Amino acid sequence: MKDIPLKCLFVSSEVAPYAKTGGLADVVGALPKKLRKHGVDARVAMPYYQSMQGKFFEHDEHFLTSYNVQLGWRVQGVGIYYDDHIVPTYFLKSDTYFARPELYSYKDDDERFAFFCKGVLELIRHIDFVPDIIHCNDWQTGPLCLLLKDKYSHDPLYADIKSIYTIHNMKFQGIFGRERLELLELSPDYMSQEKIEYHGAISYMKAGLIYADKITTVSPTYAEEIKTYEYGCGLDRLLSEKLNDKIEGILNGIDYDIYNPKTDPHLYVNYTYRSIQRKKQNKAMFQKEYGLQEKDCMLIGIVSRLTDQKGFDLMQQTIDHLWVMDKIMQLDVQFVVLGTGEQEYEDMFRHLAYKYRERTGVFLAFDEALAQKIYAASDVFLMPSLFEPCGLGQLMAMRYGSVPIVRKTGGLKDTVMHYNRETKKGTGFEFEEYSGYWMYKKIEEAYEYYNEEPEHFKQIQLNGMKKGFSWDDAAKAYMKVYRDII
């Protein structure tokens, strides 16, 4: 049994490089690629969004097939495009549902992703690939696990297919009105606690959790945290009581082909841990290009979605009658922020940029090349998250010798180790209590090392750069999970 190659179809609403709003895309862009190197026939299915039009493929030769998908009383056509220059990928094209400027936040998201789930299940009838495993990710794909188990498994074509559901973020659950059951052709008895009811509505995430053969999440600590009231977003008891045996935490990696300071084409100067002194040139040239004062002071970097999850409200607390943000700026530091998100935080950083014009670079945008420049130019990297399923920014920062300052939660706890000056071990700075005071204290600690004990600071940088967070370990862990359930 062990020698037959596994066949796994990843299903995701976003996949790098095709479409990305967050870490989910990075994961599904990298993991299947790595699994293929380990001999798994891993493939991917995703929507064909308007933003991809003309960018990745447009040519007719990528057209594979088309068929109809039934959603309740509605019938919608879907065109399948296929590309395999990175990983064999099936793109589901529907002008009705996906030819829109954004990926999400439309009134009919429930219908759009019900269509996607059903479209992917139907796809299996039209291609020469019957997976052993369908690997679903986040709420957009939850209904697929339900449909597979209750509607499709009676058909011999689907009878042996197992599903796994990976939680990248508990907070986004896909909660919709009960009247939408008809989209999935589900009878009213699915509106029960044992099934997909959630406070009088239906939950796409719950459909994934209950009906998948296995649940994983993206770090061991988060796998435990989501079973608690604080982190479970209302599903903690379901997870801790009913589904406990089905959950496993597997730490994400990063794609070392892309995130490598030795070869990264976006950097001003490439470097490795042996030539880490060249990192400073990246800071100097960054300051010059973006109009920051040209001096060697500690540069704090942030690359993040600007949402509540990421802990930026801590900046608005006060210490000594000062905003934490102003308190930080009293140190001889510079600040660079890249990201988009909630208005409140965008405004806060706009204000910062206005107040400390020559010491801050604030980019309210989504720009991968600039992100990589920031990892290389910054000395420390701030991630004070309220919760963090895994977090990829700290892994990238460490890879580029930028020292992470993080709150000890989820994947941050699993990947960053507080520096110990006696043993010279550790890769960053951690604080546990969710408070602006402790965040500030850790920035101050890093600042003292940076200015007064540069040999220690360099040691922390090197420790981080040498740490391996490649996808190999995760790929092996997922393969074991796959083998266990088929």
463 binds ligand GLC (CB under 6 A): no
Site string for ligand GLC, 178-217 (x = CB under 6 A): ----------------------------------------
252 binds ligand GLC (CB under 6 A): yes
Candidates 22, 88, 341, 436; binder of ligand GLC (CB under 6 A) is 22
169 binds ligand GLC (CB under 6 A): yes
391 binds ligand GLC (CB under 6 A): yes
Candidates 10, 19, 23, 267; binder of ligand GLC (CB under 6 A) is 23
Q: Which residues are paired to 316 by β-bridges?
A: none
Q: In angstroms, give the least distance from the CB of 259 to ligand GLC.
A: 14
Angle (deg, nearest 10), helices 279-289 and 368-377: 120
Candidates 9, 19, 24, 103; binder of ligand GLC (CB under 6 A) is 24
Q: Nearer Cβ to ligand GLC, position 389 or 401?
A: 389
- Rounded to a whole number of angstroms, the distance between the first and last alpha carbons of the chain is 10
Q: Evaluate whether 56 touches 125 at the Cβ level (below 8 Å).
A: no
**Residue number of the CB atom closest to ligand GLC:** 23
CA separation for the pair 41, 38 (Å, rounded): 9
DSSP secondary structure letters along 390-410: S-SHHHHHHHTTPEEEEES-H
Q: What is the 3-state secondary structure (H, E, C) of 156-221?
A: CCCCCCEEEEEECCCCCCCEECHHHHHHHCCCHHHCCCCCCEECCEEEHHHHHHHHCCEEEECCHH
Q: In angstroms, give the least distance from the CB of 226 to ligand GLC.
A: 12
Q: In angstroms, give the least distance from the CB of 459 to ligand GLC.
A: 27
Candidate ranges 32-40, 152-160, 383-391, 463-471; the one touching ligand GLC (CB under 6 A) = 383-391
Strands (E), 305-402: 318-319, 322-323, 333-338, 360-363, 380-383
The residue to which tokens 């939950």 are assigned: 203
Q: In angstroms, give the least distance from the CB of 224 to ligand GLC.
A: 15
Candidates 168, 279, 283, 407; binder of ligand GLC (CB under 6 A) is 168
395 binds ligand GLC (CB under 6 A): no
Candidates 223, 392, 398, 403; binder of ligand GLC (CB under 6 A) is 392
Number of helices followed by number of strands (H, E) in the chain:
16, 20
Candidate ranges 106-114, 139-147, 365-373, 382-390; the one touching ligand GLC (CB under 6 A) = 382-390
Helix, strand or coil, per DSSP, at residue 269: coil
Q: In angstroms, give the least distance from the CB of 389 to ligand GLC.
A: 4
Q: Which of 85, 89, 37, 69 is CA-nearest to residue 147?
A: 69
Q: In angstroms, give the least distance from the CB of 250 to ligand GLC.
A: 10
Would strands 63-71 and 74-83 be described as parallel, antiparallel, or unpaired? Answer: antiparallel
386 binds ligand GLC (CB under 6 A): no
Q: Nearer Cβ to ligand GLC, position 111 or 388?
A: 388
218 binds ligand GLC (CB under 6 A): yes
The residue to which tokens 């969710």 are assigned: 434
Q: In angstroms, give the least distance from the CB of 395 to ligand GLC.
A: 9
390 binds ligand GLC (CB under 6 A): yes
CA 423 to chain centre: 33
| Structure tokens that stand for 471 in this block | 């996808």
CA separation for the pair 446, 429 (Å, rounded): 7
| Structure tokens that stand for 279 in this block | 């990192």
Q: Nearer Cβ to ligand GLC, position 137 or 378?
A: 137
Residues that bind ligand GLC (CB under 6 A): 22-24, 27, 168-169, 218, 252, 388-392, 411
